[in-house]
Amino acid sequence: MLRLLNIEFQKLKYNKSAKVLTIAYFIILLFIALIVSIEFNIGDIKVRIADQGIFNFPFIWHFNTYMAATLKFFLAVVIVSMVANEYSNRTLKQNLIDGLSKGEFILSKFITVSVFALISTIFILVMTLILGYSFSDFNEFSIVIQDTEFIVAYFLKLVAFFSFCLFLGVLVKRSAFALGFLFIWWIIENIVYALFKWQFFKGTDIADNVSQFFPLWSMSNLIDRPFERLNFVQTAANQLNADVGIDYAVHWYEVLIVCVWIFLFIYGSHALLKKRDL
């Protein structure tokens, strides 16, 4: 496994665009944390987003993982270009000539995307602890460890998304087309959901029950929108007698669905590569 990982990182070592995008991803995450912790003076009014409770334990686990997951596109470009470069630079063919099997090639890519996901998860874990202990009103250990399942969900979500990008890279062979296909697939999932929700099955839960099996939708379900949990949103909802709450918990069946998609993406990538004459 270390041999395969070393091969991939030797390739990434000389990929300037991959370095820039990866560094930009982590810098943007830091900037977001810094911006929300800065106090803004608007006339006589002083505003600091951190004072609104977004960094309170245990809510911060939900908020930070959700916000970080929205920026995963930066690393998705790295993953897709990593695969596309294998074809354009003919390194894939050379690796196979040198004795690397097609199965080992896909495994090396999967290990690499998993390492990317793990590094990002550790980064978010450390940043969350620092922000939480700096701004949270609740620092009791029993409260701090609540909702830490969102960190696991974040890691799984990244692995699944990157596996999808890996599959598209192998399928399309061109990074721009693969990313375009990813965007089109996202649109298709939302159109199908909208048709089910408001056209074919109005007033039922069929649209939600079916959409949870869509690849991108299933990944999104791991970390649902956190904003409904904010105190001022709940207060406003109570005043209007409106129910804005959602089931934001990480459920075992959501984890299982995403794990199945990860297996299908990796298996599909290997099957595609196995059939092709390189």
- Do 196 and 262 touch, CB atoms closer than 8 A? no
| Residue 79 domain boundaries | 2-275
Neighbours of 96 (CB within 10 A): 15
The whole-angstrom separation of Cα 191 and Cα 204 is 17
Residue type, 12: L
pLDDT at 38: 66
Read off the tokens for 81: 């270009």
User: How confident is residue 150, by pLDDT bands cut at 50, 70 and 90?
Assistant: very high
Model confidence pLDDT, tens digit, residues 47-78? 666 666 778 888 889 888 988 888 888 788 88
**Of 184, 183, 178, residue with least CA distance to 81:** 178
Read off the tokens for 132: 């939480």
The whole-angstrom separation of Cα 13 and Cα 169 is 20
Q: φ and ψ at 60, to 5 degrees?
A: -60, -30
User: How confident is residue 39, by pLDDT bands cut at 50, 70 and 90?
Assistant: low
User: How confident is residue 239, by pLDDT bands cut at 50, 70 and 90?
Assistant: very low
**Of 210, 218, 168, 165, residue with least CA distance to 192:** 210
Q: What number is the average pLDDT over the span 216-234?
A: 75
Model confidence pLDDT, tens digit, residues 201-210? 776 778 888 8
Which of 95-99, 186-190, 226-230 reaches the highest mean pLDDT?
186-190
pLDDT at 203: 65
| DSSP summary character for residue 48 | E
Q: Give the total number of structural domains in the chain.
A: 1
CA 89 to chain centre: 28
- Angle formed at CA 116 by CA 115 and CA 121, multiple of 5 degrees: 95
**Of 222, 221, 192, residue with least CA distance to 207:** 192
Residue 232 has pLDDT above 50, yes or no: no
CA 235 to chain centre: 30
- Do 217 and 211 touch, CB atoms closer than 8 A? yes
Model confidence pLDDT, tens digit, residues 71-114? 888 788 888 887 777 777 777 777 777 777 888 888 888 998 89
N-to-C CA span, the chain: 24
